[in-house]
Structure 1
């Protein structure tokens, strides 16, 4: 399985992920365009407003993601986009992915903003798909998830790429779920004390996760009522042994086990342990290789 193709499993049926996006999306895109075109556009004046056709080309193998963002950029500029692939489909270079029509200056005004967004979102979807496929082929029954190590102001795009790639985006922000990490625990004296105080302030609908460094800390967190226990930076045979003991010792107690910390493709398989419910990693988004696209106006 070391030579696993990132697209070895069948692509998922297209899901309406665009329906998850907030009604404020147009405002966000307007801000992006304003950042890129804050004043005059002399180059746009050179090409004029004659109607043109441009081909969107995928220049590397990948998974297409970020369609709604791309569409909105060109919608605001008075252009039309016709897609030749469904979002979530994989493609090989060089692929004619979409055709964009509109005024020449508008095509070029939207080019960089649209391509940058599509490149990053597709890069994340491609990496996420690869991790999902490796886990599936390894027989892993748990959930592969990203993390909250996302880019400020661009989180919605990066989380969207994870979804299209077929993994869980994890919590979207500090309000989505409570996660007590080492700094929270140290500042309040103990895991038990931190959990007790936190539970007095949150809704029954809010999950509480606790990051632990050892089996003993995991026991304390489970005893105190944590919904999810994260085993941080634990791997090798120790991970499997700890997970097995925790599941056996706390049978009947409702909790999930998450593993995280330094997980990438070099050590992913050793962390895909039976009994692990969630494996989270920033390797699918934090420093991922973008998928290169170009927009070529046809003569």
Structure 2
């Protein structure tokens, strides 16, 4: 991911950090530390560590990705060229704060849903920031969630527009099975019980109930059970799921809950870099 990190960094720096070069003499060595200003789950430490090391800054990691942190905890200590530390500070902190915010929200929701359905998986979606997809997905994983697809080539996910073009659920599943390797799972998005039954009967691996109410989810699950198809597929629910309604879906006994909320609506975790 070095090209991505380099691009992000130099988008911020430009030709030079004129403030730092004007105020700080060259070859001045300092020590600094990154401190948590609120409780949460940390993520992005390895990424930040790589950024600092690229500028020959010595680091000592105190908290690792996935660790629960409290206000006042030191995440990392730094030693090296003052100009370098201060120039890359903001980029490193921004990535750490963004990723830690996602990890913190994911961790909370994982704990909540596991409290009512210990087997359910909480997954992210592809509602990520372009250019930061890998980092945001990694933050979901640090928070105890599932990454779902990183990219379009990870698995087949047949959506409503695909079905509209193909003409039927069965036809879409059959085309996918004929095209992709046996190593790729086939998931299909449905909005009705009839489509769910057709998808399961056609050999889909995962059936996603899209934008269904918890009551509708319950009804479709019962229909699949009655048809002897429930155990043949994983059931995922998605669409409009947030902290206010997620427990209602978890209680229905679904296998996976996916939500873009944990990436597009996560609040950054407050961190700071302090020179010692």
TM-score (normalised: structure 2) = 0.94
Which structure features the higher share of helix residues? Answer: 2
| Cα deviation, residue 253, structure 1 | 5.8
Q: Relative to 1, partners in 2 of residues 1:168 and 1:135: Cα closer, same or farther, differing over 3 Å? A: same
Match of 2:40 among 50, 54, 62: 62
Q: How does 1:96-107 map to 2 (within 5 A)?
A: 96-107=74-85
Distance in 2 of aligned mates of 1:251 and 1:223: 7
Q: Which shifted more, 158-167 or 26-35?
A: 26-35
| Cα deviation, residue 251, structure 1 | 4.2
SS in 2 for 1:200: helix
Q: Which shifted more, 252-261 or 144-153?
A: 252-261
SS in 2 for 1:55: strand
Distance in 1 of aligned mates of 2:24 and 2:57: 16
2:122 corresponding residue in structure 1: 144
1:246 corresponding residue in structure 2: 224
| Cα deviation, residue 81, structure 1 | 1.6
Match of 2:20 among 39, 44, 64: 44
Q: Which shifted more, 115-124 or 244-253?
A: 244-253
Match of 1:159 among 137, 149, 165: 137
Across the aligned residues of Structure 1 and Structure 2, the Cα RMSD in angstroms comes to: 1.5
Say whether residues 1:34 and 2:7 are aligned partners.
Answer: no
Distance in 2 of aligned mates of 1:193 and 1:88: 42
Q: Which shifted more, 84-93 or 166-175?
A: 84-93
The question of whether the paired residues in 2 share the 8 Å contact of 1:247 and 1:275 is answered with no
Distance in 1 of aligned mates of 2:244 and 2:118: 16
2:236 corresponding residue in structure 1: 258
Q: How does 1:115-130 map to 2 (within 5 A)?
A: 115-130=93-108
| Cα deviation, residue 89, structure 1 | 1.4
Q: Relative to 1, partners in 2 of residues 1:34 and 1:191: Cα closer, same or farther, differing over 3 Å? A: same
Distance in 2 of aligned mates of 1:253 and 1:130: 29
1:286 corresponding residue in structure 2: 264
Distance in 2 of aligned mates of 1:153 and 1:219: 37
Structure 2, unmatched stretches of 5+, are none
Structure 1, unmatched stretches of 5+, are 1-24
The question of whether the paired residues in 1 share the 8 Å contact of 2:117 and 2:253 is answered with no
Distance in 1 of aligned mates of 2:120 and 2:73: 34
TM-score (normalised: structure 1) = 0.87
Distance in 1 of aligned mates of 2:161 and 2:253: 27
Q: Which shifted more, 70-79 or 44-53?
A: 44-53
SS in 1 for 2:134: helix
Distance in 2 of aligned mates of 1:221 and 1:129: 32
Distance in 2 of aligned mates of 1:239 and 1:114: 42
